[in-house]
Amino acid sequence: MKKYTMEPLFSIIIPHYNIPDLLMRCLKSIPVTEDIQVIVVDDNSPAVESYLDKYSELSRPYLEFIRTTKGGGAGYARNVGMELAKGKWLLFADADDLYVDGMYDIISQWTNTDADVVFFKIRSVMSDDLDKELTRMTFVNDYIDKYLVSGDERYIRLSHSVPWGKLCRRDFVASHGFRYDEVQYSNDYYFAVCIGFYARKIEVTDTVLYIYTTRKGALTDSFMKKPGELAIRADVAFRIQKMFKELKIDINQSISLRWYLLKLIKEDRSLFQHYWERVDEVYPSKYEAFQILSKNKGLKFKIKLFLYSIWVWLRP
């Protein structure tokens, strides 16, 4: 790795596992400059020993290639990367995504802002055909459009649940000790909500910075179909809803705890019971939780939920 003559302005952290060809595409979308520190954290890929010999892009200047043996997932890899970051600003990218042409010019316009977080728009495309636009992840741009029209910061701060398409001031993140959850799914959601809520000031632009790609077999392409996934995602949603209650935040989440609780009723009754017993930790009362879950549901569902609730509440 080429030594810096001065501290970089930006640190781009990229977790990676076993998709080196796509990682190379991502890296090639990032210009080689002393202003950008690139940190690739490989999370114990099977053939990682051959990467440095096979992929010359990993030996380019100002890139740090970190190998871990833990297999801790993307959240763990991002935390490792943050510990090594030197830039004034943090950016996070997924290895199978990439940046738009001219990304350096785009982010350089914001180096002197006094905001803690800057939000950009994204494009969503197929990985094997970057010209094929998708509607997936359009909620990111919807939140930006809503903010630019209304000036209401709530949704961009608290519902923008992905790690990419943002500039985050590193000293702001470090001063609060924000970390990614080291779980297999939804590891970025709590982090995203925290930086959005605690940012002293934000900036929002309709400029597209990031290209999100979808490919068959990717983690998000099989959403809620993997063993243990529902339990992990439900736990993250519960913790976020609990934080909102403690901070007295009133916002209708697009990915809400209600959705997970309803799914648990069908697929994991014991886990549903675990959360239902604690439901007043996240909702104003058990009665209001019943009202929220029963909304737009039929009478049969309401009777079953009511009887189940009585049974849970009366248990010793």
Q: What is the pLDDT of residues 234-285, one digit of tens each?
A: 899 888 888 888 888 776 544 478 888 888 888 888 888 888 888 888 888 8
Confidence category of residue 141, pLDDT binned at 50, 70, 90: very high
Distance CA 261, CA 295 (A): 13
Q: Count CB neighbours of 228 within 10 A.
A: 10
CATH of domain 10-217: 3.90.550.10
Give the SS3 label for residue 148.
helix
Spans of all domains in the chain: 10-217, 229-314
For the ranges 1-5, 8-12, 64-68, 135-139, the lowest mean pLDDT is seen at 1-5
155-170 pLDDT per residue, tens: 899 888 899 999 999 9
pLDDT, residue 222, reads 60
Q: Count CB neighbours of 305 within 10 A.
A: 18
pLDDT, residue 116, reads 98
For the ranges 47-51, 208-212, 233-237, 244-248, the lowest mean pLDDT is seen at 244-248
pLDDT, residue 225, reads 67
Rg (CA), the chain: 21
User: For the chain, how far is it from start to end, CA to CA, in angstroms?
Assistant: 62
Residue with tokens 């080291």: 182
| pLDDT tops 70 at residue 316 | no
